[in-house]
């Protein structure tokens, strides 16, 4: 049994995801119109986090060579995951196009997908700062950290997969299904149906 719990304040809901995406997309388009790089990078960071559920350390360590985009592939290899494990994460065609556009636009020669202005590899603290900045501009309160994007990804994937915990476990690369099961506790369609049905039974 998992010793931790996911509560609704630990992930973003649909309206919050929309607000965040609108905020970062507007900044990205402004940056492109001025030939600037950073907001385009930040947009891609948030989209990759939302579209893959990577841990912040995995985002930092992600290299261009780890992105598999050829021959119809939409996946990436996590080479330095939790406990040093390697894994593969599939992602959508939409995210593939975002990554391709970013790679075509960026002017860095860093082997890492995400670089900083001072280093070829962005640090975890840098990623946290970028998210906090984007979240603030989207109107979120300060309690959210970049890790909420992993939880957001998991909850969206859980619903989109028809509540398939095994699929979510594989994408998150959890060693035990009991860890993934925390998402079924907070998003349970049977409970939602049952509590709504209670009203009609009382009439």
DSSP bridge pairs for 75: 68, 90
| Edge-to-edge strands, sheet with 87-90 | 67-68, 75-78, 87-90
Backbone φ, ψ for residue 22 (5° rounding) = -65, -40
> How many Å apart are CA 74 and CA 76, to the nearest integer?
7
Residues recognised as catalytic: 55, 82, 147, 150, 174, 183
Rg value, the chain, Cα: 18
Residue 181 to residue 6: CA distance in whole angstroms: 10
């Amino acid at each position: 049994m998992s010793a931790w719990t996911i509560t609704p304040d630990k992930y973003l809901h649909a309206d919050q995801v929309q607000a965040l995406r609108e905020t970062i997309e507007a900044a990205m388009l402004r940056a492109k119109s001025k030939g600037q790089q950073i907001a385009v990078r930040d947009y891609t960071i948030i989209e990759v986090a939302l579209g893959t559920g990577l841990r912040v350390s995995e985002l930092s360590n992600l290299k261009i060579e780890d992105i598999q985009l050829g021959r119809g592939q939409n996946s990436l290899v996590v080479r330095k995951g939790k406990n040093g494990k390697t894994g593969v994460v599939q992602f959508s065609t939409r995210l593939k196009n975002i990554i391709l556009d970013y790679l075509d636009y960026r002017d860095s020669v860093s082997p890492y997908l995400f670089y900083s202005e001072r280093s070829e590899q962005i640090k975890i603290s840098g990623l946290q700062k970028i998210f906090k900045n984007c979240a603030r501009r989207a109107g979120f309160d300060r309690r959210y950290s970049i890790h909420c994007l992993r939880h957001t990804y998991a909850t969206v994937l859980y619903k989109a997969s028809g509540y398939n915990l095994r699929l979510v476990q594989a994408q998150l690369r959890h060693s035990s299904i009991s860890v993934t099961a925390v998402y079924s506790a907070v998003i349970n369609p049977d409970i939602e149906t049952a509590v709504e049905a209670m009203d009609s039974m009382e009439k």
